[in-house]
Structure 1
Amino acid sequence: MTKTMMITPIQTDVFHQGDDLVEFIIRSVDPLLWKEKTILAITSKIVSIAENRFESLANIDKKSLIRREADHYLGEIGHGVSLTIKHGLMLPAAGIDESNSEHGDYILYPLEPYASAEKIRSALRERLGIKDLGVLLTDSRTGPLRLGVTGVTLSLAGFHPLRNMIGQEDIFGRPLKMTKINVADSLAASAVLMMGEANERCPLAILSGANVEFTDHPCRKDWEVEMDEDMYLPLYKHLLK
C-alpha cells in the first residue's frame, strides 16, 4: 500500500543561547501538528546552541579546532577542506560551523548527539502525551562527484533507522539479497530540503506519514558501519592513524 508523507517546515523566532529548547519547540509548532507517529526533525545547530557548544575564534584557529574535535582526521582534500570522521559521519571540518552563529563563534556538534535526541524526545512525549514520537537531528554535507549539500542524520531517537528488505521479492518474484533502506538519512535529506540552509529560519520540521517503525530502542548497530567493515575503507584507510 502506498503511503503519503507530509513534511511541514516550521518557521521560528531566532533561537538564542540560554533559551529552553523544549519550550522553544512547543511554542513554535502548531499544536494540531502533534499526532501519534510524528517525527520532529531539528537542525543539530540549535541543539548545539542549547548545549553551549561554542568555541571563540579568539581562542583557537580553525585547523587546530578541527583536529581537536575530529574522531579521525583524514587530511586536507580539495579546496583546502579538512576531511574528518565525527560521530560516525565522514564530513568536512568535524561538523564545525560559523554560519548563523549569533556572536561569530564556532559552533561544534553536540557532545553526545544520541543522548541529546533522546532527551528531547522524552521531554516532548511527557509534555505532549504522545507515545510514538521520533526525533531526528539533522545536518548537511557534501558528497563526492556532486555539487551541493544534502541533509544527513547526526542522530535520532524513537524509530529504527534502517529497513531490512533482504528476502522480500522484487516485482518479478525474485528475493532481494542485499537491499537495506537507510530510512534515517532519507528522511533527513527530505526534511533539510524543506527547512533550507540560509535565512529561512526553519530549524524544525514535522514529518507525518513516514513509513518507519517506531520504537524506544532504535537498532543503531544494524545501521552504523564500523570503519574496518566499511566497503569504502580502501579509499581512506591509508589516511587513518
Structure 2
Amino acid sequence: MEAFAVPDLPEIEEGDDIGALVAERVDLREDDVVLVASTVVSKAEGRAYDLDDFPPGPRAREIAARITEIAGDEEERDPRFAQAVLEESNELLMEAPFLLTETRFGHVGVNAGIDRSNTGGADLLLLPRRPSESAARIRDSLPVDAPVVVTDTSGRPFRHGQVGVALGWDGVPASRDWRGETDRDGHELEVTVESVVDELAATANLVTGEGDDGTPVVVVRDWAFGDHEGSENLFREVQGDFVREALRGWEFDG
C-alpha cells in the first residue's frame, strides 16, 4: 500500500469544503482511504474559541487550583481552560495531575482533546462535535465513494509518545474481527479484533508529522479491508471497562 500527503492545501477556515479541496489536488480512486486531521475539520466547522468564551464555574476553579498546586507556580493553570474541558466532556476520569476525560462522542483523552497549538490564531481548538458525521460530510463531497477517517494523536498508558488514532470514520468498518479463525498452529482465535481505523490513522500520522508541515490530509492507496467480518465498535462500553472502573476509584496523592 502507499500513503501520501495531499499537497498544497491552504490554511483551512470556517466553512471550507475539505473534500472539494482534496479533490482539486488528488485524482482520487474508490479504493483510496482519505484521512483528515481533526484540527482542520475543527477549523472548517468553526470549533475555534477564545478562553473568554468559557467563564469558569466553581468546579473549574477548584480543578485549576489543584493542578496549579501540583505543578507549581511556574505552570499556573487557567480555570477558563478547565471550564472548556468540562463542557466538552461526558465524564472526568482523572482530575490530577492532569485532566483525563471522556469526550461527548466517547473518545478518552487528555483535556478532552482540546488543542492549544495550530489553532489558527484562537486560544483553543475543540475537537469536532461528532467526528463520524464530519467524516460522512467530507465523504459526500468527494467525487468518488472513498472512505474517510478523521484522526487525532493521543498518548497511551504505559508508553512514551503519541500515536495517530481515529476519532470518526465513514465508509469503512472500525475493526476487523479475527475471532473464529485459526493461527498457524491451528489454535482458534478467541479475542483478536483488529482496530483498522486506528492503524490507518497511525499510518497517516507518519506522513503528516506533528509540527508545522501543513499536510493535514493523507491518502492511503492500494489497501483493502478484506473479507473479514467488520464492526463499528471502537470505544469500549463502560460496563466491562476495567481500567475505567479502576480510575473511578483512584485519587492522586501527591
The TM tier, using the shorter chain, reads 0.7 to 0.9
Residue 83 of structure 1: aligned partner: 100
What TM-score do you get using the length of structure 1 for normalisation?
Answer: 0.85
Across the aligned residues of Structure 1 and Structure 2, the Cα RMSD in angstroms comes to: 2.0
Aligned partner of 2:243 among 222, 232, 241: 232
1:150 and 2:163 matched: yes
Offset of 1:6 from its aligned partner?
Answer: 1.1
- Which residue is 1:14 aligned to? 11
- CA positional deviation for 1:154: 0.4
Aligned residue number for residue 45 of structure 2: 51
Please name the residue that 1:184 is paired with: 197
Question: Structure 2, unaligned stretches of length 5 or more?
Answer: 55-79
2:134 maps to 1:137: no
Q: Pick from 91, 101, 109: which aligns with 2:127?
A: 109
Q: Give the secondary-structure state (helix, strand or coil) at the position aligned to 2:136.
A: helix
Cα separation, partners in 2 of 1:19 and 1:203, compared to 1, 3 Å: same
Indicate conservation of the 8 Å contact 2:130/2:168, yes or no. no
Contact 1:10 1:195 in 2 (8 A): no
Work out whether residues 48 and 119 of structure 2, in 8 Å CA contact, stay in contact via their aligned partners in 1: no
- Preserved CA contact (<8 Å) 1:166 1:178: yes
Whichever residue aligns with residue 95 of structure 2, its letter is E
Equivalent in 148, 165, 170 of residue 178 of structure 2: 165
Amino acid aligned to 1:70: S
Secondary structure of 2:207 counterpart: helix
In structure 1, the partner of 2:86 is 67
Q: Per-residue displacement from partner, 1:207-235 (whole Å, max 9, x unpaired)?
A: 11223159xxx742x43321112242332
Tell me the secondary structure at the aligned position of residue 152 of structure 1: strand
Question: 2:241 is matched by which residue type in structure 1?
Answer: D
Cα deviation code 1:181-206 (max 9, x no counterpart): 11111111111121111111110000
> Are 1:160 and 1:213, in contact at CA under 8 Å, matched by a contact in 2?
no
In structure 1, what is the Cα distance between the partners aligned to 2:101 and 2:135? 23
Partner residue of 1:119?
137
Secondary structure (helix, strand or coil) at the match of 2:19 reads: helix
Conserved? CA contact 1:159–1:213, under 8 Å: no
Q: Conserved in 1, the CA contact under 8 Å of 2:6 and 2:22? A: no
Select the residue among 201, 213, 216 that pairs with 1:200.
213
Q: What is the alpha-carbon distance in structure 1 between the residues aligned to residue 231 and residue 163 of structure 2?
A: 24
1:92 equivalent in structure 2: 110
Greater Cα shift, 144-153 or 38-47: 144-153
Q: Distance in 2 between matches of 1:225 and 1:18?
A: 33
Secondary structure of the structure 1 residue equivalent to 2:172: coil
Q: Identity over the aligned pairs, expressed in percent?
A: 28
**Any gaps of 5 or more consecutive residues in structure 1?**
none
Matched letter for residue 127 of structure 2 = Y
Tell me, in whole angstroms, the C-alpha distance in 2 between the residues paired with 1:45 and 1:155: 13
Larger Rg: 2
Given that 2:176 and 2:231 are in contact with CA atoms closer than 8 Å, whether structure 1 keeps it comes out as: no
How far did 1:24 drift? Answer: 2.0
CA 77–213 in structure 1, closer or farther in 2 if over 3 Å, else same: farther
Count residues with an aligned counterpart. 222
- Contact 1:66–1:94 (Cα < 8 Å) also in 2: yes
